[in-house]
Every structure is written in structure tokens, then in C-alpha cells.
Amino acid sequence: MFFKKKIEQIEEVPAARPDAVSPLAKLRNRIDEAALPPHVFEAVIKELEKIEKTDPAVAEYSVGFNYIELVLSLPWNVSSQCKLDLARAESILAARHCGLAKVKQRILEFLAAKTLCSKAQQSILIVDDEEIARANMEHILKKDGYNCHGANNGLDALSVLAREDIDLVITDLKMEKMDGIELLGQINRVSPEIPVIMVTGFATVTSAVEALKKGAAHYLGKPVNLDE
């Protein structure tokens, strides 16, 4: 009885609509109806065959599909009343690399770079002569997915900056050899694009104003509340 019901349920499932046409099939029909010049038709068919083998979730599928849509939208086989110097126009396009293939390549490069940037870990340099404070901050930031580097003082921090790609520096104010203010000045001189957050257990309005005037992105007092 159980298997009989299952068979009946399977038989009741409606079959796929025979008239359903996929987007790529519709696109192929439009290509066939467009009366494209032979060389354009050949290029478009090659692009279509390429995206037919591509996962629709991949960026290149959308780029290829839109590329064909653009080609089909152009006024092929339509005479113009204007006196156009087509040879001159073609030479300009070739010289400035503005052809459709080049445009498509640039779009793909942009999407690839954007994907890489979104997946890249941000690197933070933590500078503090108190090992426990530095280790605690590294532990918390690593849990949030950041790549952390540590330094005991400003001089050590400059060595790290010379060999690593750092996105943010969090530095203590009071340290031996080179304090946070001097380190801030060195970073602003060599790598001004790197933001610096100043941290100190001796937080005063005067020290905060001095750090911000010298280019610090932010100023925090100890113990640090990372939600700030």
C-alpha cells in the first residue's frame, strides 16, 4: 500500500512545460534573427558557446551575456545618411584599445580584483611594550578575522612596517626607544596612507589633542574597549 501511494504521487508530479525556453536559447534565437554580418555572427556564436559551458553564478557568464546583448542592440545593416569615415573611427578604436573585447577584459579584471580585495585579510600592527596588553589585543583581533603583527616599541614597529603590508597601526603612547608620537610622525612621513590609533594609560585631553593634531586617526585610553 505504501509503495502504491508513492507511485501515485510520482505520477501526479506535473511534467516540465514543453514550451519553456532557457535564456540562452532565447538569445540564440535572437542571434539567428538579427541578420548580423558574417564576421560579427561568428564572434557572437563563439561567445555564446563559451557561456553555455559557464556556470551562471560566475561573473564571466553575466559579462558574456551582456556583451552579446550589446552587440545585438547595435544597428547592423542600417544605412546612415551621415558621411562617416569608418576607417578613421576603426583606427581610433584600435589605437585607444576601446574595442568590445578590451572592454570585456577590463570588466573581468575589475571583478576579479574586487573579489580578491573583499577576501583579503586586513593586517594590523599592535605596538606596546606591555607584552600582556599586546597579546590580549592580538587575541581579540585575530578572533575577529584580522591578521596581527606585534612590536615592543616604535623602532621594532618600523622594522615590521618595512617588511609587511600593514593596513592599520595601534600603538601605545609611552614606550622606550621610540614613543607613539615619534612613531606616528615616522609613519606619516613614510606611509601616510596607514591610519594610526594611539592608545595610552595616561589619557589626558592634552595628549589626545597632540596625537590628533599630529595625524592620529583615533585616540583610546586603557583599558581599551574595542567596541569604540
- Each of the 228 residues of the chain gets a pLDDT tens digit; together they read 444 444 354 445 445 455 556 888 999 999 998 888 888 888 889 889 988 998 888 777 888 888 888 888 877 776 655 555 666 666 655 555 445 566 566 666 666 665 555 556 788 999 998 888 888 888 888 888 888 999 999 999 999 999 888 989 999 888 888 888 899 999 988 888 889 988 877 656 677 777 788 888 888 777 665 555
Which class for 69: exposed (0-12), middle (13-18), buried (19 or more C-beta within 10 A)?
exposed
Domain definitions of the chain by residue range:
18-77+84-117, 123-221
d(C-alpha 50, C-alpha 42), whole Å: 12
- For the domain made up of 123-221, the CATH class stated in words is alpha beta
Q: For residue 179, what pLDDT is reported?
A: 86
Q: For residue 124, what pLDDT is reported?
A: 92
Edge-to-edge strands of the sheet including 168-172?
147-151, 123-127, 168-172, 196-200, 218-221
d(C-alpha 189, C-alpha 186), whole Å: 5
- The three cell numbers locating residue 131: 607584552
pTM, two decimals, is 0.48
Half-sphere exposure (CA, 13 Å, Cβ side) for 48?
Answer: 21
